[in-house]
């Protein structure tokens, strides 16, 4: 199943402000709901999202149960040099997920 749609511009000019969009497939189960038998449905959310540009952290976000399913996270950064943008999110269940995208700065 698709985990995420990541959109990083393949090319950018040095010093240009670029937008990075991430659409993550995730149920974002709040932990406040009950199933039909009255049993609580355990919380299952992405609680941390971190973006690193050539290893340097450029964006970080904490997510909470009020965030809807399939969160869309977008942020801006300055294109400094060619390299890798690494997006990592950590969830209640399962391993952290990392997606990488290359960017060429001219």
Interacting residues toward other proteins by CB under 8 A: 1-2, 5, 7, 21, 23, 25, 28, 68-70, 72, 74
> Which of 5/78 has CB closer to other proteins?
5
Residue in the block written with tokens 């869309």: 72
Least spacing, CB of residue 106 vs other proteins, in Å: 23
Q: Kindly state the tokens that stand for 4.
A: 């995420």
The sign one gets for the Cα dihedral 52, 76, 100, 93 is positive
Strands (E), 54-93: 56-62, 72-78, 83-91
Least spacing, CB of residue 22 vs other proteins, in Å: 9
> Which of 7/102 has CB closer to other proteins?
7
């Amino acid at each position: 199943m698709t985990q995420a749609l990541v959109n990083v511009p393949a090319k950018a000019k040095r010093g240009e402000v670029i937008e990075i969009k991430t659409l993550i497939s995730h149920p974002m189960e709040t932990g406040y709901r009950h199933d039909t038998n009255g049993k609580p449905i355990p919380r299952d959310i992405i609680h941390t999202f971190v973006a690193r540009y050539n290893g340097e952290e450029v964006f970080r976000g904490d997510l909470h149960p009020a965030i809807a399913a399939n969160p869309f996270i977008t942020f801006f950064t300055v294109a400094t040099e060619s390299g890798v943008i690494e997006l990592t999110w950590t969830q209640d269940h399962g391993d952290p997920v990392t997606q990488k995208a290359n960017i060429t700065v001219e």
